[in-house]
């Protein structure tokens, strides 16, 4: 509960900080819409030549695009800003201040910075998802909706743990931001179902950079094509990675000695 209060406080600070730059809202909206145009334009070209893509119907791919925006928005809203701040503060030694605070440092790092304009991507993603659901009609049952949410949460935890592990590497290496760039190149590939890709790429997108769990798996749950083994793997992986990232973070923290000290 305490953490929730903290999150609200941090959110308020970001909103107050950004409200002075209201024009940013328009620009961010513009850029997000452009990005959506790329997705939808590509889809409309492809589906003018084919009825299904690797067994996926247009509405199902549209749902995937919605999830892609929704999860991408979550990553850029809260996961990535916090991790970027961690990397920076390890380099310039300001992590000292975070460590002296009474709350758990991992929590403060994780929710301490919020890029509120990314809420636009989340709203757009939800909009696309809603449009796709109308297209899919009444085929979504309660079970599928529940599994969808469960897989979405598992995917978010996996991505969060993945980012935390990468950012923790900054205790040893200086230039880890580059790896974040790799993540975004790979995430682009999540616009399409990973089942389309040849084995090696599918493997890389599942276990090297866990894009599949962030976009394809939740959409599979929604469209009722999720194998129960996959859902089990997602949940187990989420729990294991979350614990692993926590252990690794503690381990890295012991190495940290402050930049100026």
Partner 1 sequence: MKALVELYMQQFKTTLASMFQYRASLLIWMIGQVLEPLVYLIVWSIVSNTSGGSVGDYTTREFAGYFIVLMLVNQFTYTWIMYEFEYRIREGILSFALLKPVNPIHSDIADNISSKLMTLPIMMLVAVGLAVAFQASISPVPWAIVLFIPVLLLAFVVRFLLEWTLALAAFWTTRVGAINQTYFVLMLFLSGQIAPLALLPSPVQILADILPFRWMIGFPVELLLGRLTIVEALTGLGAQVAWLLAGLVLLRIVWRSGIKIYSAVGA
Nearest to partner 1 of 43, 157 (CB atom): 43
Short-list 118, 175, 129, 185, CA closest to 152 = 129
Instruction: Name the minimum Å distance from CB 27 to partner 1.
Output: 5
Nearest to partner 1 of 143, 173 (CB atom): 173
CA 61 to chain centre: 18
Nearest to partner 1 of 202, 246 (CB atom): 202
Instruction: Name the minimum Å distance from CB 128 to partner 1.
Output: 17
Distance CA 218, CA 151 (A): 5
Give the Å distances, CA to CA, from 67 to 61, 156, 201, 236.
Answer: 10, 11, 20, 21
Instruction: Name the minimum Å distance from CB 199 to partner 1.
Output: 11
Nearest to partner 1 of 4, 181 (CB atom): 181
Nearest to partner 1 of 32, 144 (CB atom): 32
Instruction: Name the minimum Å distance from CB 68 to partner 1.
Output: 13
Instruction: Name the minimum Å distance from CB 62 to partner 1.
Output: 15
Judged on CB neighbours under 10 Å (0-12, 13-18, 19+), 83 is: buried
Nearest to partner 1 of 17, 55 (CB atom): 55
Instruction: Name the minimum Å distance from CB 34 to partner 1.
Output: 5
Nearest to partner 1 of 187, 249 (CB atom): 187
The strand ranges marked E within 77-126 are none
Q: CA torsion, points 60, 64, 69, 72, in degrees to nearest 10?
A: 170
Please answer whether residues 155 and 233 qualify as being in contact, where contact means their C-beta atoms are separated by less than 8 angstroms. Answer: no
Short-list 242, 220, 243, CA closest to 55 = 220
Q: Which residues are at the interface with partner 1 (CB under 8 A)?
A: 27, 30-31, 34-35, 37-38, 41-42, 45-46, 49-50, 52-54, 175, 178-179, 181-182, 185-186, 188-189, 191-192, 196-198, 201
Provide φ and ψ at 52, rounded to 5°. Answer: -135, 160
Distance CA 169, CA 171 (A): 5
First to last CA, the chain: 35
Distance CA 33, CA 129 (A): 15
Instruction: Name the minimum Å distance from CB 99 to partner 1.
Output: 29
């Amino acid at each position: 509960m305490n953490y929730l209060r903290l999150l609200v406080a941090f959110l308020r600070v970001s909103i107050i900080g950004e409200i002075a730059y209201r024009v940013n809202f328009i620009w961010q909206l513009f850029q997000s819409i452009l990005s959506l145009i790329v997705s939808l334009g590509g889809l409309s070209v492809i589906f003018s030549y084919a009825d299904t893509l690797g067994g996926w119907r247009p509405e199902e791919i549209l749902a995937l695009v919605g999830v892609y925006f929704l999860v991408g928005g979550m990553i850029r809203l809260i996961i990535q800003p916090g991790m970027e701040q961690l990397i920076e503060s390890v380099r310039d030694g300001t992590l000292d201040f975070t460590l002296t605070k009474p709350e758990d440092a991992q929590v403060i790092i994780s929710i301490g910075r919020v890029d509120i304009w990314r809420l636009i991507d989340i709203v757009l993603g939800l909009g696309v998802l809603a449009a796709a659901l109308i297209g899919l009609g009444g085929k979504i049952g309660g079970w599928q909706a529940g599994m969808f949410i469960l897989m979405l949460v598992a995917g978010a935890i996996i991505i969060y743990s993945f980012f935390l592990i990468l950012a923790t590497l900054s205790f040893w290496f200086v230039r880890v931001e580059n790896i974040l760039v790799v993540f975004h190149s790979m995430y682009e590939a999540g616009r399409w179902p990973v089942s389309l890709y040849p084995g090696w790429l599918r493997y890389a997108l599942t276990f090297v950079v866990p894009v599949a769990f962030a976009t394809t798996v939740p959409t599979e749950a929604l469209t009722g094509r999720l194998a129960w083994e996959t859902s089990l793997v997602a949940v187990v992986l989420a729990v294991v990675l979350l614990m692993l990232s926590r252990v690794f973070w503690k381990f890295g923290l012991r190495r940290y000695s402050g930049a100026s000290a």
